[in-house]
A and B are shown apart, each in its own frame.
Chain A
Amino acid sequence: MKILVTVKRVPDPEQKIKLKDDRIDLSAANWQLNQFDEYAVEAALRLTEDARNPATRLGEVTVVSLGPAEVQQQLRAALAMGADKAVRVDSRDEDLDADIVARTVEKLVRRDSPDLVLMGKLAADNEGNEVGQRLAGYLGWPQATFASIIEVVEGGKALLVGREVDAGVEMKKVRLPAVVTVDLRIVAPQAIKNGRTPPDHAYPEGPRYASLKGIMAAKKKPIEELTLAQLAIQPTLRVRTVSVRLPPPRKAGIKVSSVQELVDKLHNEAKVI
């Protein structure tokens, strides 16, 4: 199976946000791989290996990122985990929106014809949660979002995807090629069944650690460099940031002495009931 995985670098979500000139100041940002994208890489690797012998690849995983030269670091991190090759489309974060990203990935998908596009369900910076859906729309491919289970069925022609919804897990069958976005439980020990790894095999919880050997090997794996122009992408933003403001600081709480007082306050002061 040939899988294309999209990855994005995001500022460390644990870092405190600073504003400068109505924008988030990213000059001291500690960039890292978006966590859901890391899960997508892990899912792609589990789909393309026999866990009893992970050194032998059963498919090919290409990781793609749009970003500046520094995003190589995140691409190398995915290659160190075991992805086979990478593509970087040169761009600055401020020149991108979900639509441009989706159209760019569409071009790459049409060029490389993967069987599956795996993505994180959202990026931790703006929590947009739209690139996967837009991409499936542009490609006219089936999509399954928020996957927490993936099982290869029909001899590799389709996937059975479990999606966590409020009422439980919804199972969807999508024919390949398809777009699947993953949720956090996709890295549970038995979330993925690829038909080759024994179904009772349990992976360690979470995305795998890159070994020093993997890190060294990643240095030699190819990263293709492209520009938006080479992919004939018109970089017209559909979303423009007008300004960014921090939410007002939270006021200190109070203790109420009775349920009656709480109801009164919610009704008369907060006016929420």
Chain B
Amino acid sequence: MTYLFETDEHQALRRQAARFAATEIAPHAHAWEEAGEFPRQLYRRAAEAGLLGLGYPHQLGGGGGDLTHVLVAAEEMVTAGHSVGTVAGLGSHGIALPPILQLGTREQKERFVPPVLRGERIAALAVTEPGCGSDVASLTTRAVRDGDSYVVTGSKTFITSGCRADLLTVAVRTGGPGHGGISLLVIEGGTPGLHVSRRLDKTGWWASDTAELSFDGCRVPAANLLGGEGMGFAALMMNFVTERILLAGQCVAIATLAHREAVAYAQQRQAFGRPLCGFQVIRHKLADMASRLAAARALVGEVAVRHIRGEQPVALAAMAKNTATDMCSFVCDQAVQIHGGYGYMRQCLVERLFRDARLYPIGGGTREIMNEIIAKLEGY
């Protein structure tokens, strides 16, 4: 199934992304997930194939297109590439660059964005801290102005691509408490005082590295401040909508793949003298999975269209994320069940998808925070 909004161009783009993922990712998917990393060179390849720059303006080396194009290409990367962690790592610039585009000066954009879209530099976003995640407004990493630079002290955690990022968009406190005191600084990898303190082991998303970072009197040129002091929080909030739609889209993609695997297995595996599909219970399981998948896809498609039309579908994006993450966890769990013991084994694709799925109700705003947003905007 595809999204209702798709045109021939979306279909053509799907085929390109699928071919890329099938040749460049799928053959290595299992190995990269087990190794906890994919080769850096893949960024370049994805850039050459026109996939890294999707959704970014041509002037900055992007590929053009809007959120709907990013959504379908990302789906094929997952369904044809079979490695969610790789796609997550390849896409970390998707949260790191938008604040630069939004707040950055022309000079900052031209300096930071094109090398990332060419696949030469890896970008990451660092907001979450050991002491605060959902409550972004309480972050404590401090940046103190000293002449032409800011001196940054504090730590960040759970940072996707943080272990090898060349460029980090970092949320820091330049002012007083609360969201008004938060600013965004671009900090380059290798800046003295910036350390990768830990590479974190996770439930899923293994091929994507996740870092704990420390900033120990890290001196950053003041020219790397995005917008003015105190403008960070609003910029982050703006981009959360796109991020949530894309995460919901990833859930649709993962569930599509898990469902496909489950159908194939149910048709081929024999028990009691017939294929699993010969049992109504199994057919109905697959039907339930397909139904929830279709519903989530419809909602994700709708919110994406509203977003590109210029609406600010904040509550609907939160609803779509919760709908899609719950659906994805359900579908992957059922896919494991249909695979029986094989579904619990490490070399089995649905086993990995089941683990990957667990992240989505947590990352990019938790299920509970989504409900807070919905409740607040609905005015309960």
Residues of A whose CB lies within 8 Å of any CB of B are 32, 73, 76-77, 80, 204, 206, 209-216, 218-219
B6 to chain A, nearest CB (A): 13
Q: Decide yes or no: A213 and B50 within 8 Å by CB, A77-B15, A204-B45 being known contacts.
A: yes
**CB atoms of A209 and B63 under 8 A apart:** no
Given A204-B45, A204-B48, CB of A210 within 8 Å of CB of B63: no
Contact among B8, B11, B58 for A213, CB-based, below 8 A: B58
Residues of A within 8 A of B12 (CB): 73, 76-77, 80, 210, 215, 218
Chain A's closest residue to B58 (CB) is: A213
Is the C-beta of B9 less than 8 angstroms from some C-beta in chain A?
yes
Residues of A within 8 A of B16 (CB): 209-211, 215
A210 touching B50, Cβ below 8 Å: yes
In the bound complex, how far is the Cα of B12 from the Cα of A73, in angstroms? 8
Interface size of B as a range: 20 to 34
Instruction: Please name 10 further chain A to chain B contacts, defined as beta carbons within 8 Å, in addition to the given A211-B49, A213-B50, sorted by A numbering.
Output: A73-B8, A77-B15, A209-B48, A209-B51, A210-B12, A212-B50, A213-B63, A214-B50, A218-B12, A219-B9
In the bound complex, residues from chain A placing their C-beta under 8 Å from that of B27 are: none
- Is B13 an interface residue when CB atoms closer than 8 A count as contact? yes
Name the contact of A215 in the complex, choosing from B9, B19, B20, B58 (C-beta under 8 A): B9
Residues of A contacting B20 with CB < 8 Å? 209
Interface of B is mostly: helix
CA A212 to CA B117, docked complex, whole Å: 14
Looking at the assembled complex, report how far the CB atom of B46 sits from the nearest CB atom of chain A, in whole angstroms.
Answer: 10
Per-residue 0/1 for B16-28: is the Cβ within 8 Å of any A Cβ (1 yes, 0 no)? 1001100100000
Tell me whether B65 is interfacial, beta carbon within 8 Å.
yes
Which of chain A's residues has its CB closest to B70's CB? Answer: A212
Rank and list the top 3 A-B pairs by shortest CB-CB distance, nearest first.
A211-B50, A209-B49, A215-B12
Give, as a whole number of angstroms, the nearest-CB distance from B143 to chain A.
37
The smallest C-beta distance from A84 to any residue of chain B, in angstroms, reads 18
A73 vs B10: C-alpha distance when bound (angstroms): 12
Minimum CB–CB distance for A141 against chain B, Å: 33
Tell me which of B9, B50, B64, B69 contacts A209 (CB under 8 A). Answer: B50
CA distance A211 to B73 in the complex (A): 11
CB distance from A68 to the nearest CB of B (A): 16
B247 within 8 A of A: no
- Which residues of chain A have C-beta atoms less than 8 A from B65's C-beta? 212
B286 vs chain A, min Cβ distance (A): 19
Q: Nearest B residue to A38 by beta-carbon distance?
A: B19
Which A residues are CB-close (under 8 A) to B49?
A: 209, 211
Q: List 5 A-B contacts (CB under 8 A).
A: A73-B11, A210-B12, A211-B16, A214-B50, A216-B9
